Amino acid sequence: MKTMHRHFDEQLQELREHLLAMGSLAETMIVKSVKALMDRSEALVQEVFAHEEEMDQRCIETDQRCFTLLALQQPMAGDLRFIAAAIKINSDIERIGDLAVNITQATMSLIRQPTLKPLIDIPRMAQLCQEMVKKSLDAFVARDAELARIVIESDDPVDLLRDQVFRELLNFMITDPTTVPRALDLVLISRYLERIADHATNIAEDVVYIVRGEDIRERGDKEIRKGLRHPAGISPEIPGVDREAALAAHRLIPEEREFLDLIKSAAHNLLRAAKSLQVMFEDYTDPAGKWREVREAEHEGDAITHRIMKKLNQTFIPFLDRQNLHALTSALDNVVDFIEATASRMVLYKIEQPTPESREMVALIMASAEQIVKAIGDLPGFAGVEEICVEINRLENAADDLYRRAIADLFQGERPILEVTKWKEIYELLEAVTDHCEDVADVVESIVLKHS
């Protein structure tokens, strides 16, 4: 028995070391992506792209380690929380790597154009993000809840720098419209860095969960302090600005109205897909027929996306810039694609009945879809959009918690390995849908920041 326990401890230590190695790779990708921007180096860009393949492979290996430990060791209490959190942390680190790749993609565009301005705040953001990633993983390995809380508090300076970058670049865009493409690329890079800090914060919050069993991810005080949510009964106001009057003063040109109508159609089609998925899970009769309904929504979404992209290449839209429209369209399309992928697995894997956890996750997807329709419906007005985006973020956090519990339950008792494999993928797809809903909220929030 002691030998088995010692072997389990060794496996847990190997898992910690594997995650640390992934974190180190993520730090390297952050450093190289920003250095490529500063040095205007295509060679460094290519190095980051090469690291992406290594990161993806490490992510797969870590998942396999976690699920093997759950299946073979059936850990309890703290060890179970550790492994469940490791699964989520693995995903956060992989997404940090993806964001570093996004930075290099924007850099590829920038290094082929004249330099817009000396970069000061973006390198500072990158340094803070790198430190947050390192400290969050140190806290994870040491089970240090206090260090984790330091990381969580470090998120605020990154947000302030992101806002500062935007304000400075906005002046360039207003003064000289020819700088808009370059300025927007830099705005996106600051946004990617801010998202990296968010993922480091997620890791730190998971550390607190591992050590104390305390879930702090939905603390209202942090959201209120950052201005993302307001105390009950208090509605946000901008001094000296009548939001309704400002909206009434703005009259969209026909091209803008047409684009917004198409975006709203995409949002309503997303809601249609979510409703079809919910019907499938709540009334699990003729799943193949219900899958066809989801596929029809997915095909309609592709058609709407094609119309938007085609028109986007032919039209200049002064109110909503091309980058935002492209990002919003892609984000909406991704949600529908993953909804369809989930429905397809239910049929192709011949699932007999949905689990209670999967039905709960679908309900969260439905709630997120309804919030997305509200947010898109409020454009180009902005009253209430920020609160909607915070609610989508809350729903995504709830989905993460549910995903973690569902995976832990999946490895309890004696289940056929084939059943475990099928449901593991379905849970991952359901959780990915809520991730992409959050991506939609991020783009909408970016639009609000620029235009409110």
pLDDT per residue of the chain (452 residues) written in tens, 0 to 9: 455 556 667 777 888 888 888 888 999 999 999 999 999 999 999 999 999 888 888 888 887 777 777 666 565 556 676 777 777 788 788 888 888 988 998 898 888 888 888 888 899 999 999 899 989 988 888 888 889 889 998 888 888 888 888 888 878 877 887 877 788 788 888 888 988 998 898 888 888 877 776 555 544 344 433 333 343 333 334 333 344 433 433 445 566 677 778 889 999 999 999 999 999 999 999 999 999 999 999 989 888 888 887 776 665 554 556 667 777 888 898 899 899 989 998 998 889 999 999 999 999 999 999 999 988 887 766 567 778 888 898 898 888 888 878 887 776 767 787 788 889 889 989 998 998 898 888 888 767 765 55
pLDDT given for residue 180 in this prediction: 77
CA dihedral 276, 277, 281, 287 (to 10 degrees): 70
Please tell me the number of Cα atoms within 13 Å of 169 on its side-chain side. Answer: 28
**Cβ atoms of 129 and 193 closer than 8 Å:** yes
What pTM was estimated for this model as a whole?
0.56
d(CA 139, CA 153): 14
**Cβ atoms of 259 and 317 closer than 8 Å:** yes
For residue 95, give the nearest of 442, 445, 367, 450 by alpha carbon: 442
Instruction: Give every CB contact of residue 414 below 8 A, 6+ residues apart in sequence.
Output: none
Helix (H) or strand (E) holding 80: helix 77-110
d(CA 438, CA 391): 10
Instruction: From residue 108, give the alpha-carbon distance in Å to each of 101, 104, 194, 321, 333.
Output: 11, 6, 20, 20, 25
The token pair at 180 is 């808009």
Match 């389990």 to its residue by tokens. Answer: 8
Q: How far apart are the first and last CA of the chain?
A: 63
Measured over all CA atoms, what is the biggest interatomic distance in the chain, rounded to whole angstroms?
A: 75
**Which CATH superfamily hosts domain 254-451?**
Phosphate transport system protein phou homolog 2; domain 2 (1.20.58.220)
The token pair at 227 is 């201005």
CATH architecture of 6-217: Up-down Bundle (1.20)
Indicate the domain borders of the chain: 6-217, 254-451
Q: Return the sign of the alpha-carbon dihedral for residues 415, 421, 422, 427.
A: positive
Match 């730090």 to its residue by tokens. Answer: 27
Residue 96 CB neighbour total at 10 angstroms: 30
- What angle do the packed helices 322-348 and 417-451 form, to 10 degrees? 160
d(CA 158, CA 184): 18
